[in-house]
Amino acid sequence: MDTTERRTLLERANSQSATIGQELPDTITVGEAQLPLEEFLIETRKVDGVPDDVKPVLRETELKLTDERKRLVERLESAPIDRAEGEELVEMIVGIDRAHNALRSLRRDRFAEEARTASLDGHERWLEFVNSIRR
């Protein structure tokens, strides 16, 4: 793989929008464990908040995901790989990013309620603005 191809793959892996609308791998490997990514993402959406006794496990999992992502990015940056292997690494990195984002959203207890409240607050401010113009 040449330098330009490698740079393009790295840009995809590090893009802020890399997880949006992308085909994700069915599983991601973190250390020795394989995580069924789609099932994991579906299950995290069902969780309303994180119990205190689970928070240390959640932090540990986030650290493992961060370490694995760093390892994969370093491999993509400098290992002697071909284009197909590079594409596979990008998919794994994006999958890890999706899993990490899902875990981060769990840490915000009552995220949906906060979002709804923020939306209502924004709506009320908008109505106040519209009313001030009408006067």
Secondary structure (3-state) at 30 = strand
Say if 125 falls within a structural domain. yes
Q: Is 20 contained in some domain? A: no
Instruction: Kindly report the pTM of this predicted structure.
Output: 0.67
Structure-block tokens of residue 93: 């990195």
What domain count does the chain have?
1
- Could you give the CA distance from residue 41 to residue 103 in angstroms, rounded to a whole number? 9
Secondary structure class of 25 (helix, strand, coil): coil
Could you give the dihedral angle defined by the CA atoms of residues 115, 103, 57 and 13, in that order, rounded to the nearest 10 degrees? -150
* Strand 27-30, strand 33-36: pairing: antiparallel
pLDDT digits (tens, 9 = 90+) for 16-41: 665 566 566 677 777 777 777 777 76
More confident residue, 2 or 124: 2
Domain residues for 65? Answer: 3-7+32-109+117-134
Q: Determine, yes or no, domain membership for 27.
A: no
Comparing 45-49, 66-70, 130-134, which segment has the lowest mean pLDDT? 130-134
pLDDT of residue 95: 84
Asked if residue 56 lies in contact with residue 103, where contact means CB atoms within 8 angstroms, the answer is no
Residue 22 lies in a domain: no
26 is a domain residue: no
pLDDT at 122: 61
Q: What percent of the chain has pLDDT over 70?
A: 64
